[in-house]
C-alpha cells in the first residue's frame, strides 16, 4: 500500500477491535468489511482521494455522507494518514474546482512579465522618476514607480502578440501606481512601432495616444479601492498624495492647492 503511516501489524483477516468505534462506524457506513483487510482498502481509498484527486477532508466527508464533525482529525488519528500542508491543500483545491489561475490566458500574462533589472536601462521613459521616487511598494513606498507595459498584456493576449515582445524592455515605461491603474488595459503604441524601437535600440518617447479596451467593473473597483487609501496634502505650492494612515509632514496640511494662472 502506498500510504504514509505505519501499517498495523495484524493479519488482514483479523477483526477490528470493538474499542475502535469510529473506524468500525466508518467502515460499516461505506460498506467495507470490519477487519484489517477492509481497513487497508478504506485507507487506500482515502489516501487517493486526498493525494491523487486533491480533495479536502470536508469534501470527502460530504461525498461519503459521513457525519463526523472533524473528519480531518479522524483521518489523521484513526487512519494514520498525514494531511497536506494548508497552503498546498488550498492550491490543490483551487485546481480541483477549476478556480486556479492555470488557464492559457494566465500563463500568457505570466510570460509577459518584465524580468529585467529596473535600474539597468536608463533611457526607458520615466527612468528619472524611478531614480527620484524609487520602486513602488503599497506600504513602504506608495509614491514609487511601477513598470508599465506600453502595449498592455491584455492587448497582447487579444491580438496574439508574442510574450517576448510584450516583456521586452523597449515596451516599458515608468508610471506611478495610480497612473498605471488609470491606464488599465490601454496600449500606447502599435506592434510595428515596438518592433522598430527594438530593431534600432530606441525607447518610447511619444504621447500616450492610447488604444483603449473597456474598463471592467473589477478594474473600476480596484481604482476606487486604491483611491480610498490615499489623501491629498499641500504646502501651498506643491501637492502630494500619501496614505491616509501616514503622518502629515511638517509644513503640509490636508487638501490641494490649485495652480493660479500667471499674469
Least Cα distance to 143 among 129, 159, 164 occurs for 129
pLDDT in tens, 91-148: 656 555 555 545 678 888 889 999 988 888 889 999 999 998 888 888 888 888 999 9
Burial of 94 per CB tally in 10 Å (0-12, 13-18, 19+):
middle
User: Is residue 240 helix, strand or coil?
Assistant: strand
Query: Are 181 and 150 spatial neighbours (Cβ–Cβ below 8 Å)?
Result: no
User: Is residue 4 helix, strand or coil?
Assistant: coil
pLDDT of 93? 61
pLDDT of 87? 64
pLDDT of 195? 93
Q: Which residue, chain included where needed, has cell 501489524? A: 9
Query: What distance, in Å, lies between the first and last C-alpha atoms of the chain?
Result: 89
pLDDT in tens, 193-251: 999 999 999 888 754 434 444 555 665 666 677 677 778 888 887 777 777 777 787 77
- H or E element at residue 233: strand 230-234
Query: What's the mean per-residue pLDDT of the chain?
Result: 79
Q: Which residue, chain included where needed, has cell 501606481? A: 177
Q: What angle do CA 138, 139, 144 make, to 5 degrees?
A: 55
pTM of the predicted model over 0.85:
no
pLDDT of 213? 47
Query: Are 188 and 150 spatial neighbours (Cβ–Cβ below 8 Å)?
Result: yes
pLDDT of 253? 86
> Does position 262 have pLDDT exceeding 80, yes or no?
no
What is the average per-residue pLDDT within 4-18?
A: 68
Amino acid at each position: 500500500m502506498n500510504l504514509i503511516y505505519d501499517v498495523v501489524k495484524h493479519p488482514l483477516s483479523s477483526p477490528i477491535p470493538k474499542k475502535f468505534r469510529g473506524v468500525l462506524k466508518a467502515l460499516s457506513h461505506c460498506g467495507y468489511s470490519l477487519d484489517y483487510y477492509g481497513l487497508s482498502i478504506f485507507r487506500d481509498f482515502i489516501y487517493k482521494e486526498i493525494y491523487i484527486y486533491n480533495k479536502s477532508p470536508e469534501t470527502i466527508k460530504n461525498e461519503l455522507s459521513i457525519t463526523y464533525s472533524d473528519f480531518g482529525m479522524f483521518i489523521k488519528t484513526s487512519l494514520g494518514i498525514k494531511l497536506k500542508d494548508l497552503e498546498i491543500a488550498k492550491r490543490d483545491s483551487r485546481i480541483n474546482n477549476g478556480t486556479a489561475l492555470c488557464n492559457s490566458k494566465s500563463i500568457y500574462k505570466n510570460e509577459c512579465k518584465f524580468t529585467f533589472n529596473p535600474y539597468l536601462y536608463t533611457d526607458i521613459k520615466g527612468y528619472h522618476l524611478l531614480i527620484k521616487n524609487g520602486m513602488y511598494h503599497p506600504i513602504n513606498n506608495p509614491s514609487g514607480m511601477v513598470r508599465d507595459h506600453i502595449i498592455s498584456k491584455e492587448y497582447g493576449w487579444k491580438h496574439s502578440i508574442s510574450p517576448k515582445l510584450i516583456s521586452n524592455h523597449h515596451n516599458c515605461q515608468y508610471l506611478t501606481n495610480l497612473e498605471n491603474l488609470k491606464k488599465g488595459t490601454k496600449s500606447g503604441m502599435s506592434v510595428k512601432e515596438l518592433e522598430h524601437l527594438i530593431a534600432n535600440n530606441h525607447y518610447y518617447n511619444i504621447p500616450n495616444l492610447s488604444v483603449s479596451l473597456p474598463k471592467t467593473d473589477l478594474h473600476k473597483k480596484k481604482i476606487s479601492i486604491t483611491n480610498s487609501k490615499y489623501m491629498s496634502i499641500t504646502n501651498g505650492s506643491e501637492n502630494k498624495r500619501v496614505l491616509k494612515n501616514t503622518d502629515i509632514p511638517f509644513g503640509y496640511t490636508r487638501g490641494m492647492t490649485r495652480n493660479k494662472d500667471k499674469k
